[in-house]
Structure 1
């Protein structure tokens, strides 16, 4: 479904000679390739499995200038002292991938993720690759990435966990590698290349400069004296005439606020081209050579659109003079995280840059007033935290609660949603509908940027056309705002709200007052937020079910279900759920759903297996189909792939023996997928295929109007739906 963008695109990589061949990498939502025919983006990592969810953070992309079918990318969500990164390679522009494990970690969603590219290949001998790692120095492969060795001639230091923690958990390491060559395809290795070193790795490795040069293909290295020391070098670009353009900026970003400098470097002499003491420099691109070199400079850490503002500065005389080409110009502007800027190598008037919500571009950069527009069709990077569907015939189709973009009500799957309670930057955690009066909606979330005390709740009585905030919040509602927070509506003006790490409370007067339930208080376990999953019975809203998943697999606290028969005011522990010995797992790896067409018919997945109750949660039957994939780990630990993590029920197949279609995200016979049953769980069929795995969606809702339609989210690919 359409949002368009919604998340941080961390880098853009053009093929140097094939027109319109462009890739985008994102911090948590995989990678994309531009489709010029449709003027939209094609996701190239949707085949990533649930076991590859950590690899949905793409840290760097490199293309072979001799073969426009070949693309490499290094992935891994967060850096650590462990070897968790992978190199993916494709010989068909990302339509399929093979991967190898790398002997270091990557940080696709760490600070400094707009720096790069860290991965580079030799244009003259493309089987040779270099990678600048965050925690373990520089690495080299001479066999197209299958095997790697550390460039110990530069440094053999591998940062320890303590050293990574000492820099705030976000190591920067070797930030980029750039070859000094204007040729390609000669078959002879390029001897000269530069690597930029972040201040943290300069310190731990005992180096003497932020920039090093090798004249013998990396066999030995010499420090290069730089005009600025102790800064990051987020981008270093070589022009066709051999001139280098180098950014220095104080912080790693995203959106570093400077100070910053741009220099020209001819191999021995540095010439200052631009400086800023109140903003950073994030993006840099050059086109042409000599005195008419076009330079696009991304100014980061500035926010807003006004006269005198700097977002993208352009020079057409090699940096002698500059003009602003985005601020106050026509169209859609995007300031702040301008951490990569690219001039299209086949069209100098086409300039793009990344930002926290996607990509913007101009196609008339030479104009005195360039026009800017979003370039995000097909690129969906919102991180969905919860989905919910109303009863058939409601005036809307879906309640969508997402990180950073809030709660939205979808009425048309082909268009961007317009109905939302949010008047400021926020995240939606949960929303629910009164099934007897679907125009009543309650939603809870957090206003971002307010610190801990940012929790909020909203209600609408007209299907999302207008909204009001709850007059008061329950205990924990203001401060405990993680994504485990959720709400269940029992009737118009009545709801039960379960803030994270709190005792749930109920309201009977539309949030004017809240009263604590008798459910035991839950507290976070080792930093893992915890909450009850609250679900109202759709046929008898006096029944409300609360599922405590145990908080974490190491908690030694098995899951439990509590049942209320008075609208969620008081609850009784289901001894049947205790007898079921539900696996302890974190909130996000578990799920509970009611059959909306039969009173007391409940489904639960505890991360490892699926369970069914037909007596309002009094007793539970375990299904034998679903089981986790352990990958060699003992079953006392955490599996590679959850056996059953999400369950949802939707409109039944015509003539089916069971009143609803059941959908479960999990693994059967060691095959992960979305599975559907039309006969009450007796038989299951895989609903998706290997090309549509989306790195393991974490939330799902089934449609009540259309059989076979489900909505998926949670892998930061927006919301996807089936027909």
Structure 2
């Protein structure tokens, strides 16, 4: 679960390859395409699956809280501990809206909500950032453009919050930008923004200046903005504001006492580390700051926690541990607004045996922690673990080993409910944890309940989906959490794929004649380094394909109709083939990176596409010959084969959709389709009829479509409330047993399935 970076790089690769695809979804139609109403639901894995950088409670309205994610948008907390997604309407036109770099909930007009949106600040993302503004708790939005990029999925995304509303004059907001763009201010509820030029420090820290990709070589910038509500009066601008800046070796916390007209460095501050969070304790007139030597969320080997007494102007080092015990930085930080002097802080990157959270009831003079060593390897856990809402998170509470990963990792968001001292939530690299009995921590028992509480936050980055005609209705390949067998679409999953276990499953395929035989490939660690696995029982159990070489990863995979041959288009070692688990050998007749597929009825036939060329193999993938061209295509995306008819092949490309009924000897371009991304074939509407063709395509506008007559006519099946984000990053498969059902795997909002209403 460490390798979120692999997910990031894969996503960037997709952006580079398909930069031409950034076109509008639901554009005004030039071609007459009717719509058909679909009901869309999430395939349930139990919530989570991705990084939740922060959870923010509204300090005024009880029960109001929001969570932001790095690639999956924002969510609002419900009374039953579930979450409601707020950005499912986001489409390909502005898929970067799903990257949330900061969130602010208005303490005065609590219906107001603000999001700083944008995915990347480097060259792969062409979009400048926006401040999304809602006046109805996130039900509807307007966008306020910014003249620079915002990085919701960049390093340092757990710092914050960079966006803050003045608690005394809520028309005023401050936003701290990345990339050296400094501090910005709005005086009209976020509608327009001007730069605060009087704050000269814009942050100097760069995670890795040598990174040529631009991902780790950009300035982190402003880390957080915190208003001192006690310094002003209701109805007038708050004069005192603190700003944390990502700099090391120089001043990094600044204060204004005149609403931003002038700024000074706070005297006596620690400038050894980066200030991650700056949290005000109003009743104490104190500012608490967590520090780490890295920007997070993956790094950080040293850090500190400090308390700043605003009245006296003095700093106190209140770091919970020291010496050899201090091997991590600090991220998540919160105070209990009902209990002055009570605060909690989380380790940012303590990977073994588990993360830890510290709690103090005396302003940081003394601390207790969620677990501690007794005599190694024994440890005392002061919590009860409950993953019943997402059993795949495990190991469950009965686990007695020392590599727990129950508390989590990458803990940047940590919040005590300002209206309920028993209620707390925190975000990890995979989910949200918390509970409703936090005050037990302060008793002699200290046995708080640590529950998975991300129900509704389906944040997985989906790499592939398959829906075989027999067995489970769906199998998923997911970034960072392997994937699951989905024998029920509405029931939480229990365990991920295992034996072998990798970080990410990148592709899967089933054998057409014996669909219980499945192949999967992955990225990340396994016991032998081999990244090919086979199942003979629909994914229930797996075994490694020992014909695979170590340290070859990624790409695309196809398995022959009878399941004896695996064709693998690797990420960096060309196209390989193996029969009967033999050693994989190079297929020299195919270009590296070719898109591949197997015929689902004829065991000897495989297909491939690269550039404008289509290729056919009739000797089980050993050799391929080019048969024809795919128009003027330069980037084929997907080859899909009719599961019931040999030689019936569809190919989606950057110039359209192509169909062959003779194993690719000739292709017909489907009229009116100017671009096509992922495609899928489902069960026919009538027995013996054409299979239902599903396509993410440009047919008078980019959207998701179905055709029941081999592409002669189409209906659009998505709507204004369901945009599914970046079309070039999504995957698609169709159900082989239920007419009209389609599955869409998104890059950050998990898996959706749609049925005709």
Q: TM-score range by the shorter chain?
A: 0.7 to 0.9
Pick 1 or 2: higher relative contact order, CA cutoff 8 A, min separation 6.
2
Q: Tell me how far 1:315 sits from its aligned partner.
A: 1.3
Alignment of 1:340-355 (within 5 A): 340-355=413-428
Provide the residue aligned with 1:247 in structure 2. 290
Of 412, 422, 427 in structure 1, the residue corresponding to residue 504 of structure 2 is: 427
Aligned mates of 1:280, 1:269 — CA distance in 2: 22
Query: Is residue 10 of structure 1 aligned with residue 88 of structure 2?
Result: no
* Aligned 8 A contact 2:328 2:350 in 1: yes
Q: Per the alignment, in what secondary structure is the counterpart of residue 177 of structure 1?
A: strand
* Aligned 8 A contact 1:429 1:485 in 2: yes
* Aligned 8 A contact 2:116 2:163 in 1: yes
Alignment of 1:584-599 (within 5 A): 584-585=634-635, 590-599=637-646
* Aligned 8 A contact 1:41 1:377 in 2: yes
Aligned mates of 1:597, 1:183 — CA distance in 2: 72
Q: Per the alignment, in what secondary structure is the counterpart of residue 67 of structure 1?
A: coil
Provide the residue aligned with 2:197 in structure 1. 152
Aligned mates of 1:449, 1:155 — CA distance in 2: 48
Q: Per the alignment, in what secondary structure is the counterpart of residue 233 of structure 1?
A: strand
* Aligned 8 A contact 1:600 1:616 in 2: yes
Query: Is residue 142 of structure 1 aligned with residue 174 of structure 2?
Result: no
Provide the residue aligned with 2:29 in structure 1. none
Query: Is residue 225 of structure 1 aligned with residue 237 of structure 2?
Result: no
Of 327, 330, 335 in structure 1, the residue corresponding to residue 408 of structure 2 is: 335
Provide the residue aligned with 1:481 in structure 2. 553
Of 675, 687, 692 in structure 1, the residue corresponding to residue 722 of structure 2 is: 692
> Given the superposition, is the C-alpha separation of residues 41 and 310 from structure 1 closer, same or farther in structure 2, using an over 3 Å criterion?
closer
Normalised by the length of structure 2, the TM-score is 0.83
* Aligned 8 A contact 2:251 2:269 in 1: no
* Aligned 8 A contact 1:254 1:339 in 2: yes
> Given the superposition, is the C-alpha separation of residues 379 and 185 from structure 1 closer, same or farther in structure 2, using an over 3 Å criterion?
farther
Aligned mates of 2:435, 2:362 — CA distance in 1: 20
Aligned mates of 1:541, 1:581 — CA distance in 2: 30
Query: Is residue 179 of structure 1 aligned with residue 227 of structure 2?
Result: yes
Query: Is residue 571 of structure 1 aligned with residue 571 of structure 2?
Result: no
Aligned mates of 2:724, 2:541 — CA distance in 1: 34
Of 617, 620, 623 in structure 1, the residue corresponding to residue 667 of structure 2 is: 620
* Aligned 8 A contact 1:701 1:711 in 2: yes
Aligned mates of 1:57, 1:104 — CA distance in 2: 15
Aligned mates of 2:61, 2:499 — CA distance in 1: 43
Q: Per the alignment, in what secondary structure is the counterpart of residue 56 of structure 2?
A: strand
> Given the superposition, is the C-alpha separation of residues 380 and 310 from structure 1 closer, same or farther in structure 2, using an over 3 Å criterion?
closer
* Aligned 8 A contact 1:442 1:489 in 2: no
Provide the residue aligned with 2:368 in structure 1. 323
Provide the residue aligned with 1:361 in structure 2. 434
Q: Tell me how far 1:449 sits from its aligned partner.
A: 8.8
* Aligned 8 A contact 2:205 2:246 in 1: no
Q: Per the alignment, in what secondary structure is the counterpart of residue 199 of structure 1?
A: coil
> Given the superposition, is the C-alpha separation of residues 449 and 180 from structure 1 closer, same or farther in structure 2, using an over 3 Å criterion?
farther
> Given the superposition, is the C-alpha separation of residues 430 and 137 from structure 1 closer, same or farther in structure 2, using an over 3 Å criterion?
same
Aligned mates of 2:232, 2:705 — CA distance in 1: 49
Superposed CA deviations along residues 461-510 of structure 1, whole A, max 9, x for unmatched, are 12222211011216xxx44424x33233331322212212433222221x
Q: Per the alignment, in what secondary structure is the counterpart of residue 260 of structure 2?
A: coil
Provide the residue aligned with 2:319 in structure 1. 274
* Aligned 8 A contact 1:310 1:324 in 2: no
Q: Tell me how far 1:25 sits from its aligned partner.
A: 0.8
> Given the superposition, is the C-alpha separation of residues 489 and 378 from structure 1 closer, same or farther in structure 2, using an over 3 Å criterion?
farther
* Aligned 8 A contact 1:597 1:660 in 2: no
Aligned mates of 1:449, 1:77 — CA distance in 2: 30
Aligned mates of 1:454, 1:182 — CA distance in 2: 57
Aligned mates of 1:326, 1:36 — CA distance in 2: 30
Aligned mates of 2:720, 2:481 — CA distance in 1: 29
Q: Per the alignment, in what secondary structure is the counterpart of residue 55 of structure 1?
A: helix
Query: Is residue 372 of structure 1 aligned with residue 444 of structure 2?
Result: no
Alignment of 1:506-585 (within 5 A): 506-509=577-580, 511-522=581-592, 531-548=593-610, 550=611, 559-577=612-630, 580-582=631-633, 584-585=634-635
Q: Tell me how far 1:709 sits from its aligned partner.
A: 0.9
Superposed CA deviations along residues 339-395 of structure 1, whole A, max 9, x for unmatched, are 12100111111121111111110221121111101111111111111112212xx12
> Given the superposition, is the C-alpha separation of residues 17 and 11 from structure 1 closer, same or farther in structure 2, using an over 3 Å criterion?
same
* Aligned 8 A contact 2:638 2:651 in 1: yes
User: Number of paired residues?
Assistant: 663
Q: Per the alignment, in what secondary structure is the counterpart of residue 471 of structure 2?
A: coil
Of 687, 692, 700 in structure 2, the residue corresponding to residue 661 of structure 1 is: 692
Aligned mates of 2:355, 2:709 — CA distance in 1: 61
Aligned mates of 2:457, 2:366 — CA distance in 1: 35
Provide the residue aligned with 1:443 in structure 2. 520
> Given the superposition, is the C-alpha separation of residues 514 and 303 from structure 1 closer, same or farther in structure 2, using an over 3 Å criterion?
closer
* Aligned 8 A contact 2:185 2:195 in 1: yes
Query: Is residue 189 of structure 1 aligned with residue 233 of structure 2?
Result: no
> Given the superposition, is the C-alpha separation of residues 346 and 489 from structure 1 closer, same or farther in structure 2, using an over 3 Å criterion?
farther
Aligned mates of 1:269, 1:683 — CA distance in 2: 72
Aligned mates of 1:259, 1:113 — CA distance in 2: 18
Aligned mates of 1:659, 1:310 — CA distance in 2: 54
Q: Tell me how far 1:116 sits from its aligned partner.
A: 0.2
Query: Is residue 79 of structure 1 aligned with residue 151 of structure 2?
Result: no
Q: Per the alignment, in what secondary structure is the counterpart of residue 443 of structure 1?
A: strand
Query: Is residue 602 of structure 1 aligned with residue 659 of structure 2?
Result: no
Aligned mates of 1:508, 1:680 — CA distance in 2: 34
> Given the superposition, is the C-alpha separation of residues 454 and 314 from structure 1 closer, same or farther in structure 2, using an over 3 Å criterion?
same
Provide the residue aligned with 2:75 in structure 1. 32
Of 541, 563, 575 in structure 2, the residue corresponding to residue 466 of structure 1 is: 541
> Given the superposition, is the C-alpha separation of residues 422 and 139 from structure 1 closer, same or farther in structure 2, using an over 3 Å criterion?
farther
Superposed CA deviations along residues 599-639 of structure 1, whole A, max 9, x for unmatched, are 22221111342122222111222223223xxxxxxxxxxxx
> Given the superposition, is the C-alpha separation of residues 219 and 184 from structure 1 closer, same or farther in structure 2, using an over 3 Å criterion?
closer
Q: Per the alignment, in what secondary structure is the counterpart of residue 110 of structure 2?
A: strand
Superposed CA deviations along residues 94-150 of structure 1, whole A, max 9, x for unmatched, are 122211221122211111111000001112222211111111111112222222221
Provide the residue aligned with 2:531 in structure 1. 456
> Given the superposition, is the C-alpha separation of residues 519 and 19 from structure 1 closer, same or farther in structure 2, using an over 3 Å criterion?
farther
Query: Is residue 56 of structure 1 aligned with residue 86 of structure 2?
Result: no
Provide the residue aligned with 1:404 in structure 2. 480
* Aligned 8 A contact 1:83 1:102 in 2: no
Aligned mates of 2:625, 2:706 — CA distance in 1: 31
Q: Per the alignment, in what secondary structure is the counterpart of residue 95 of structure 2?
A: helix
Aligned mates of 2:210, 2:141 — CA distance in 1: 31
